[in-house]
Structure 1
Amino acid sequence: MKTTLVFERGNGLPYSKSTLHRAFNRICRKAGITKHITIHGLRHTHAVLQLEAGADMKYVQKRLGHGSVAITSDVYAHISKKLEKKNMDKFEEYTKGLDVGKEMLSFLGLLCIVVTIFFIIAAVISAFRKTRKVKKRLLTALGSFILFFIFYAVWMSLEGEKPSEVTQEKTAKITKDEYKKIKDGMTLEEVKTIVGGKEKSQNKFDDFVEYNFDGENGVESDAYVILDFNYDKTLDKKIEIGLLSPRDDTEVSTEEDTEEDPTESLKDHIEYQLTEDNDFNIVNLEVNEHMGTDIENDNIVILTLLGSENLTAKMKANGLFEDSNVVFQSLFENTDVEEAVLFWQLPVTDSTGNTSDKNVLKITLTRDTFENINWEDFDSHDYKIVAEDYEELIQFSGIKSPLTREGLLECRQI
């Protein structure tokens, strides 16, 4: 079977994402890398190492395929402390070189003055003695004096060439009048000119950079201002909190009201794990308090995922099991998960010829079972043996054992 794939299975079909992620995680563990990193994260590591090695920003931009150097600079230049230290070391080395040169010129200039004075005195003595060396000694004194001025001119040029000391930019606070002067479309430098200094802090996002300033003389003592700048360095939006007007009563809440729901936080984290790190298609996700234990913050996760329909029937069956390994390992990374119920959906054609997404497989694992499994050597087809609950929810025709490694030929709704 001819194929254009770089890596393929023996039958010419592509590897599933879960296979690649498992292999990558295995390599990381063998290499002693305990910090979690995705395959895509290697791209960021590569960029940082290039910059730390001294690669030009334009070169890194071309390798990453960014639309402009500004994007590369904003995303990567701030994350490496080595770059900052290297630049400061270069600055110090340069200024030290200037200082050594100036010291040498100062010494030579002083020597020229001494020589000039010496030959002037010698010329005066020669004149009193009426010898022939007066003119020669005066010319020598003049030459030494001219050399002094040359050394002095070079010394002054080095003094002017030395970079001025880097001054710490003042952190500004924004008053009511200054806030009213700030308009959309202004550049960051224009805003800094108005407020007289830099921001208190900043946060970088995919599409904009958020600059935070404290308010000054606002209607509330803890007033602050948020300015959102696009990556072209123009102001897109400004927000004041407690500077011009008091906060709404609806914004003032007790600590109990604002406390984040731990189950919602866990749900958001699981959704990020599965969609961003592993690119799964979530149909439904529920996180509920586990009523079967007395331990606080124990939760049960009920998850429904849609399997890939771009594979052969046999690949679908194997893919569900392999992807289940990745899913369970991701779920139980969260210590608050005590039990996980996983449903898989696939497009199923019923007896009337209509196709819709139906639950085809259900697997339930508890934390105790998960921790007893040796995941590196676990045969994913053994879920029916080790799982607390294992159900094949669709009758599969044309095979001896449904959803086994022999593969499935066709799915039919009962």
Structure 2
Amino acid sequence: MANIALLISLVAFVIFVIYFIRAVIGKMKKVEGASAFFKRSLISFAIFLVSVVVFGMTTEPPAKTTTAEPRKEKVEKVEEDKQKKESAEDVKKKEDKAANTQQKESKANEVKKEETPKKTETEQKEKTVDQIVKAIIYDEVGKKTNMGEKRIIELQVNDNMGTDDTNDKIVIAKLYADDALSNDSMRKKILMNSKDLFETLFKRKEISEVVLMWQFSLVDAYGKESVDTILKVGLDRETADKINWKNFDYNNFELVATQYYTHPALLKE
């Protein structure tokens, strides 16, 4: 409304000025109708005055600034500080509670450790070597054969009484051999797997001797089936240290091995 009143007042003022100037000019030149211009200019001036009054009445005064917002911000800040203080106290309580709980658990664990029977160092070491040997066998030749049989039939890791070092171990492993198209292929596969196992096992300083007993299912002349050793090969530390595994021909195990045996069935063509 205020904008419309302002626009009307401006238009009325312009018309007033135009009619007033024409009236003055007409009066000076004694032109007929000059008085009519004076009347129109007065009407325009009256409209101008009325519009100015209406504009003044409809214009809203500027809003007064109050102190409500600063006061509100101050209250909110006080509340925020209070919440921070309470949060800090809650965090401290939780930390103290967690520390007490951890301390109690630590004491309980210590009591439990004291009550648990301790294993001897020898037992722990034997268990560790046994696990290492088993892992090496699985890594080199797999957990199962190509026919699905479990690879390890029996595994022993014993103290080697034949050496002066009490930490020396002798490994005796009965392993199930992979099947092959021919006896010669099976023999070569066994010797190749033996080479890989010997090379890795003798990297362990505590192993002083290794005997591998490769077994397979055999059928005798009477048709009876049994799992027997078809090839056995063993090396001690002294012999293993002489071998350059990179260039070694596994067919030479028969010449250099401290123990070597081949079942007659594996030699048949």
Band the TM-score falls in, shorter-chain normalisation: 0.5 to 0.7
SS of the residue corresponding to residue 338 of structure 1 reads strand
The one-character-per-residue Cα deviations of 1:335-388 (angstroms, maximum 9, x if unpaired) are 100011110101211112232221111111011101111212222111111011
Q: Is the aligned partner of 1:327 residue 2:202?
A: no
Q: Partners of 1:310 and 1:283 in 2: how far apart?
A: 19
SS of the residue corresponding to residue 295 of structure 1 reads coil
The one-character-per-residue Cα deviations of 1:249-282 (angstroms, maximum 9, x if unpaired) are 8x62466658752111001011011114541511
Q: 1:345 touches 1:359 (CA, 8 Å); kept in 2?
A: yes
Amino acid at match of 1:371: D
| TM alignment of 1:186-335, pairs within 5 A | 216-218=99-101, 221=103, 223=105, 242=108, 252-253=115-116, 257=120, 261-280=124-143, 281-335=151-205
SS of the residue corresponding to residue 274 of structure 1 reads helix
- Unaligned segments of structure 2, at least 5 residues: 1-93, 144-150
Q: 2:201 touches 2:207 (CA, 8 Å); kept in 1?
A: yes
Q: How many residues align?
A: 168
Q: 2:136 touches 2:197 (CA, 8 Å); kept in 1?
A: no
Q: Structure 1 pair 275/311, CA: closer, same or farther in 2 (3 Å)?
A: farther
Q: Partners of 1:259 and 1:358 in 2: how far apart?
A: 33
Cα displacement (A) at 1:222: 5.9
Q: Partners of 2:178 and 2:108 in 1: how far apart?
A: 51
Q: Partners of 2:121 and 2:240 in 1: how far apart?
A: 34
> Which residue of 2 is the match for residue 388 of structure 1?
258
SS of the residue corresponding to residue 189 of structure 2 reads helix
The one-character-per-residue Cα deviations of 1:179-236 (angstroms, maximum 9, x if unpaired) are xxxxxxxxxxxxxxxx88xxxxxxxxxxxxxxxxxx6434x83616xxxxxxxxxxxx
Q: 2:230 touches 2:265 (CA, 8 Å); kept in 1?
A: no
Q: 1:223 touches 1:242 (CA, 8 Å); kept in 2?
A: yes
SS of the residue corresponding to residue 230 of structure 2 reads strand
> Which residue of 1 is the match for residue 234 of structure 2?
364
The one-character-per-residue Cα deviations of 1:1-30 (angstroms, maximum 9, x if unpaired) are xxxxxxxxxxxxxxxxxxxxxxxxxxxxxx
TM-score normalised according to structure 2 size: 0.54
Larger Cα-atom Rg? 2
Aligned Cα root-mean-square deviation (Å): 3.0
Q: Structure 1 pair 222/298, CA: closer, same or farther in 2 (3 Å)?
A: farther
The one-character-per-residue Cα deviations of 1:43-83 (angstroms, maximum 9, x if unpaired) are xxxxxxxxxxxxxxxxxxxxxxxxxxxxxxxxxxxxxxxxx
Amino acid at match of 1:396: A
Q: Structure 1 pair 304/222, CA: closer, same or farther in 2 (3 Å)?
A: farther
Q: 2:218 touches 2:226 (CA, 8 Å); kept in 1?
A: yes
- Match of residue 220, structure 2, among 345, 350, 357: 350
- Unaligned segments of structure 1, at least 5 residues: 1-194, 197-214, 225-240, 403-407, 410-414
SS of the residue corresponding to residue 221 of structure 1 reads helix
Q: Partners of 2:122 and 2:187 in 1: how far apart?
A: 43
Q: Structure 1 pair 383/352, CA: closer, same or farther in 2 (3 Å)?
A: same
With a CA cutoff of 8 Å and minimum separation of 6, indicate the structure with the bigger relative contact order: 2
Larger helix share, 1 or 2:
2
Q: Partners of 1:276 and 1:242 in 2: how far apart?
A: 40
| TM alignment of 1:43-62, pairs within 5 A | none
Q: 2:160 touches 2:208 (CA, 8 Å); kept in 1?
A: yes
Q: Structure 1 pair 297/360, CA: closer, same or farther in 2 (3 Å)?
A: same
